[in-house]
Amino acid sequence: MQKRKLGNSGLEVSAIGLGCMGMTFSYVPFPEKKDMIVLMRQAVEQGVTFFDTAEVYGPHNNEELVGEALAPFRNKVVIATKFGFDIQDGKMVGVNSRPEHIKKAVEGSLKRLQVDVIDLLYQHRVDPNVPIEEVAGAVKDLIKEGKVKYFGLSEAGANTIRRAHTVQPVSALQSEYSMWTRQHEKEIIPTIEELGIGLVAFSPLGKGFLAGKMDETTKFGEGDIRNILPRYSEEARIANKALLDLITKFAERKNATPAQIALAWVLAQKPWIVPIPGTTKLHRLTENNGAASIELTVEELLEIEEASAHIKIMGTRYTDAMEKSTGL
């Protein structure tokens, strides 16, 4: 698989990474641990070098899973994790990016990941109670101590990114970006391009919808986050099929799958964007990774742009309460 550099930081990763959240968090029922170890190791065999986790996924057991699975490949892979929440009695109870909390969280992540240094450390969500300069300063200290290599932000706004970057260079911004989630194109993507920061695109397949594997009759398991997200209501899934139809048309033309077209579109937007689709199935892993070899021409991208401009997406990506917590 091809490699990409996340901005100007020198951090190089596979063009497509693997989001590991769904292995233990948000998308029930969860698969067997042994199967996920096999999947992650197969990802390495297929050229994936970039794996994404967080202390709140589980909480904690996702980092433990990733650490165990990737231990034999430590010198071949880049592991990203995140801090920024209080965890009490095994539950996430609110944001917390106080410097002392960040350092405590990192010590826990190092142990669970079975590593001496965290390759890429993100602030998971902006904490309105802690100036971003203090957050960046705490991570800068951790970098000086050799416990962290690169600093990232997740779902942060342009002003927050700029302020953090003046204290400690930000290597990557992780935010949702896909063919139906494009609000960052107005201000945030131009800002990180100016500053030389890479974009790590989570949910590049729209939590499965853009892969064409669900319709209005699909039932999500109890505890599946899509049960509460407006964009995945039965009505919205019917309305949003128009975008999926467009993607499917290009998939047929390119002898590809809808998932591969959706990922190829993300890859085509900028050379410093890296999507991290999540999956718990080996055949989907192979399918997703195949997107790295699909090239959409300038003409095809223009055709997609013109056609999608007439498609109105129904439903917000998050509930109002969840959107307020993103820091945008």
**Bond from prior residue into 271 cis (ω within 30 degrees of 0):** no
| Side-chain-facing half-sphere of 251: CA atoms under 13 Å | 20
Q: How many Cβ atoms sit within 10 Å of the Cβ of residue 304?
A: 19
Non-local (6+) Cβ contacts of 213 within 8 A are: 259
* The one catalytic residue among 27, 57, 177, 232: 57
Active site residue 57: yes
- What gap in Å lies between CA 266 and CA 273, rounded to an integer? 7
β partners of residue 118? 148
- What gap in Å lies between CA 98 and CA 101, rounded to an integer? 5
- What gap in Å lies between CA 309 and CA 306, rounded to an integer? 5
**Which residues does the annotation mark as catalytic?**
57
